[in-house]
Amino acid sequence: MYNTRVRGVLIKGNKSFADVSRDIIKPMDDKTPMWWWVTAFLATGALFWGVWGFYNTISTGIGEWGLNNNVAWGWAIINFVWWIGIGHAGTAFSIFLLILRQKWRTSINRAAEAMTIFAVMAAGLFPLIHMGRIWDGFFIFPYWNTRGPLWDNFNSPLFWDVVAISTYLMASFVFWYMGMIPDFATIRERTTSKMKKKIYGILSFGWIGNARGWLRFETAALLLGGMAAPLVVSVHSIVSMDFSVSVVPGWHTTIFPPYFVIGAIFSGFGMVLTLMIILRKLYKFKDYVTDGHLDAIARILTFISLIMGTAYLTELFMAWYSGNEYELFTFMKNRVTGEYTFAYWTMLTCNAFIPQLFWFKKIRKNITIVFIISIFINIGMWFERYVIVVTSLSKDFLPATWATYEPTITEIAIFVGTLGLFLLGVLMFFRFVPTVAISEVKSVLKETTTLKSFTDE
């Protein structure tokens, strides 16, 4: 039972049910604001640059990237893992916080889930464009064929990746969409535009809000949630196996699956924090996404950051303790010291040290600083992938083959393009979908508020 005297009020501003609906749907009814157009313009520009990057890669060859005989994976894989990591936030929020009975998640989970979808979509582009022969990419699916039949290599982590990511994308999408059905119905009921009525009518699958509907809805949510929960763990575990299954020093470690999952949740929460701060500012949702919400996320980040730090230390310890000279070289001479010192220490600072500032209440309460730190986390997690991918490959077993790697303009364009895609998706979401789960907020409104009309009853 949620005790408001202990845990404070979740939704502020003495909202009634009607207030909630009105507040959240209001941005969708309003005229499209200027900032939306400006940002959408920028995002589209970025997207087009990315399209050029795609075009250049496909028409000319992967040679347009900075890769070489030794470092055969670069920014594409870094960004892939980074986006997948960010894509963990939604499901983690919805499922884990649901299991932990954290009511405060209701204000945030919708946005987090939307973020997941767009991030996973952005991530999914990288394995595609990364292929040398994208036109033969369908080989990766185990379809019945006349070549023997020739099957995929079920031992390959890349094959597991395909399965894991497509499953995750589908499950996340269904979960996210299903949660929106009652809200779409709400919009359908409220809107005056015939067009919108029609569209949201279709989108809401004819939801009428009857008891049977709600019953089925809750059951389905529960089932889907139960099925999606292992995916959060599995998807990044499998991504981590792209690395840990190999023999490359710095990749071949058993710590990778938990370390990657935690890292993913870390970056996902970081990105949620970034987006929610922007959202509550733009849409004046401070009553729904309260300082308390941000405080809770910050606390979680502090804790995860400690786990991350432990993981980094464990890696270093194991490099030494294993007695493996190649491993030790990679960690001590190519990360802690050496050519890639900057990337390694940026990673460590952003992920393990800076979030520790959240121990101080003053910092947690200062939204500007919280926002800046959330950005640092995003950067730090990008560098973590950079450190893993590039440092290990650039100096592996035979020194004669050692090579360095620098991205080219094409690789940068593709990354910026996916940022544009993500941003555009988020903007669409802000504009056409209720950004906060109306029905879920309403469901927790009663027991988490001090509103007279409720408490008096």
Minimum distance from CB of 446 to other proteins (Å)? Answer: 51
Q: For residue 89, what are the contacts with CB-CB under 8 A and spacing of at least 6?
A: 112, 115, 116, 119, 265, 268, 269, 271, 272
Under 8 Å CB-to-CB from 306, ≥6 apart: which residues?
352, 356
Distances (CA, A) of 273 to 11, 150, 301: 18, 46, 10
Do 310 and 361 touch, CB atoms closer than 8 A?
A: no
- Rank residues 249 and 417 by Cβ distance to other proteins and give the closer one: 249
- State how far the Cα of 294 lies from the Cα of 255, in Å rounded to an integer: 30
Closest contact distance (angstroms) between CB of 242 and other proteins is 8
Binding track over 159-198 against other proteins, x by CB under 8 A:
x--x------------------------------------
454 sits near other proteins (criterion: CB under 8 A): no
Residue environment code for 53-81, b if the CB has 16+ CB neighbours within 10 A, otherwise e: bbebbbeeebebbbbeebbebbbbbbbbb
8, 22, 152, 451: which one contacts other proteins (CB under 8 A)? 152
Interaction between residue 81 and other proteins (CB under 8 A): no
Both tokens of 57, joined, read: 């890669």
Residue 135 in tokens: 């036109």
DSSP letters of 198-227?
HHHHHHTTT----HHHHHHHHHHHHHHHHH
Count interface residues toward other proteins (CB under 8 A): 49
Nearer to other proteins, 134 or 221 (CB): 134
* Cα–Cα distance, 388 to 73 (Å, whole number): 11
The site string for other proteins over 299-328 (x = CB under 8 A, - otherwise) reads --------------------------xx--
Q: Can you tell me the distance from the alpha carbon of 317 to that of 357, in angstroms, rounded to the nearest whole number?
A: 25
Q: Least distance in Å: CB of 177 to other proteins? A: 30
Confirm or reject binding of residue 254 to other proteins (CB under 8 A): no
Residues 6 or more apart in contact with residue 236 via CB below 8 angstroms: 84, 85, 88, 257, 260, 261, 263, 264
**Contact with other proteins (CB under 8 A) among 8, 137, 213, 309:** 137
Examine residue 63 and tell whether it contacts other proteins (CB under 8 A). Answer: yes
| CB nearer to other proteins: pick between 69 and 254 | 69
3-state secondary structure of 337: coil
Question: Within positions 26 to 55, which residues make up the interface with other proteins, using CB under 8 A?
Answer: none
Distance between CA atoms of residues 371 and 390, nearest Å: 29
What six digits make up the tokens of 234? 């599995």
- Residue whose structure tokens are 């050519």: 339
To other proteins, the closest distance from the beta carbon of 311 in angstroms equals 22
| Residue 397 within binding range of other proteins, rule CB under 8 A | yes
- Residue 71 CB, shortest distance to other proteins, in Å, is 8
Span of 82-90, 358-366, 367-375, 401-409 interacting with other proteins by CB under 8 A: 401-409
Using the rule CB under 8 A, is 403 a contact of other proteins? yes
Sorted by sequence, the CB contacts under 8 Å of residue 45 that are 6+ apart come out as 420
Contact between 130 and other proteins by CB under 8 A: the answer reads yes
Q: Which of 75, 80, 168, 329 binds other proteins (CB under 8 A)?
A: 329
Nearer to other proteins, 229 or 389 (CB): 389
Q: Which is nearer to other proteins, 136 or 457 (CB)?
A: 136
Establish if 153 lies at the interface with other proteins (CB under 8 A): yes
**Distance in Å, CB of 316 to other proteins, minimum:** 19
Answer yes or no whether residue 411 interacts with other proteins by CB under 8 A.
no
Cα 334 to Cα 328: distance, rounded to the nearest angstrom: 9
How far is the first Cα of the chain from the last one, in angstroms, to the nearest whole number? 17
Q: Is 96 in the site for other proteins (CB under 8 A)?
A: no
The correct pick among 62, 235, 272, 273 for binding other proteins (CB under 8 A) is: 62
**Residue choice 66, 213, 258, 309 for contact with other proteins (CB under 8 A):** 66
Q: Any residues with CB less than 8 A from the CB of 394 and at least 6 apart, and which?
A: 70, 71, 334, 339, 340, 402, 403, 404, 405
- Which burial class, exposed, middle or buried, applies to 213 when counting CB atoms under 10 A from its CB (0-12, 13-18, 19+)? middle
Q: Establish if 11 lies at the interface with other proteins (CB under 8 A).
A: no
Which one, 66 or 292, has the nearer CB to other proteins? 66
| Residue among 35, 37, 55, 139 that touches other proteins (CB under 8 A) | 139
Q: Which is nearer to other proteins, 273 or 390 (CB)?
A: 390
Residues that bind other proteins in the complex, under the rule CB under 8 A:
60-63, 66-70, 72-73, 127, 130-134, 136-137, 139-140, 150-153, 155-159, 162, 242, 245-248, 325-326, 329, 393, 395-403
